[in-house]
Amino acid sequence: MFKMSLIPFFFSIVSWFAFTAQADECKHRIVFLPQSHAADKLTGAQTSEDQNTQVAESQLKIANYIERFPNVPVFSEQTAAQNYSLDMIPQDKRLGLQNHFNKIFPQGLPENPNVMTNAQKRKLIDNGGDFVQLIRGRVNLLRKVVEDQNALDKIFDPIKIWLNKNPSRGVAYPPEIGTLVYGERERAALMQVQKYFSLNPKQKDIILIYGSNHSFKFYPDEFPPACVLIPTEFQSDWNGRFRSGPEGFPSSNKVDYSEPTTATR
């Protein structure tokens, strides 16, 4: 019995080493951080108090991860079709913002989500862990995940029309809409990442922050699936592991409208 109980453990260790070895063979790697964010206004969904807590904890985890790897470029769902840097903010306003954030996080970011103040939770929910770290100066640039506004409109305009006609939550996306909500946005993000790597061939890793319902494993023509890594502490947050393809989830699954589109749209 004792020997038999070691078999699953042994195979899990072997699989982990095989996965690590395979990932280390990648020329470039995407470190995907699946996030929970506030309900998108586009869907008309409301965020409950329990969801707010989940969002705050998710964004704190993202902010802390960025802090641990300050030199790794960050691509963020929130940026949509525009790069964001502190240089875009006039210096007087920038200093005011930084002072404001330093007052909210006087001891820096808490490691334990249970000790967050209400003000810290609200800031993380409203701004996201990536933008909190941008203002705090822990990351210099948040990179876009869509080429330009025209490309963004091409994806979102049909989604808006469909949502206006189907306001009831729980209605499954038809494949042509699901492909926009998930597939086209994921491809667009991978294209931006590939463009970056082509210009920066010596860079090994980038961080990609995107909603937990997303998956970047369906597009081997854009990026090797084995080179899309999810850190251990984020793996349980990743709902995208239940995806059936670029069009989204199996039709038998209930759609969660709280995470269908980018939070800044």
pLDDT tens per residue, range 13-37: 444 444 444 567 999 999 999 999 8
Strand order in the sheet with 228-229: 84-85, 141-143, 74-76, 205-211, 29-35, 228-229
Please report whether residue 262 resides in a domain. no
Distance, in Å, from the CA atom of 239 to the CA atom of 252, rounded to the nearest integer, reads 15
Q: What is the domain range of residue 155?
A: 28-242
Helices marked H in the chain — which ranges?
2-24, 49-68, 91-104, 118-135, 149-165, 175-178, 185-199
Please report whether residue 15 resides in a domain. no
Question: How many C-beta atoms surround the C-beta of residue 98 within 10 A?
Answer: 15
Q: Output Rg (C-alpha) for the chain, integer angstroms.
A: 19
Please report whether residue 257 resides in a domain. no
CA 122-124-129 angle, to 5 degrees, is 175
Please report whether residue 205 resides in a domain. yes
pTM of the model: 0.86
Torsion of CA 23, 25, 27, 28, to 10 degrees: 10
Q: Is 63 left (phi over 0), alpha (psi -120 to 50) or beta?
A: alpha
Q: Which two tokens mark 116?
A: 């967050």
- Which stretch of 3-7, 132-136, 211-215 has the lowest confidence by average pLDDT? 3-7
Looking at the predicted structure, is the pLDDT value of residue 232 above 70? yes
Looking at the predicted structure, is the pLDDT value of residue 262 above 50? no
Please report whether residue 23 resides in a domain. no
Please report whether residue 17 resides in a domain. no
- Summarised one tens digit per residue, pLDDT across range 163-192 is 999 887 677 899 999 999 999 999 999 999
CA 217-220-221 angle, to 5 degrees, is 140
Percent over 90 (pLDDT), the chain: 75
Helix (H, G, I), strand (E, B) or coil at 29: strand
Region 49-77 average pLDDT: 95
Region 119-144 average pLDDT: 96
Number of structural domains the chain divides into: 1
Residue for token digits 């709280």? 258
| Sequence-distant (≥ 6) Cβ neighbours of residue 223 within 8 angstroms | 30, 190, 193, 194, 216
Please report whether residue 263 resides in a domain. no
Q: Which two tokens mark 252?
A: 């038998």
Percent over 70 (pLDDT), the chain: 82
Distance, in Å, from the CA atom of 212 to the CA atom of 163, rounded to the nearest integer, reads 21
Please report whether residue 140 resides in a domain. yes
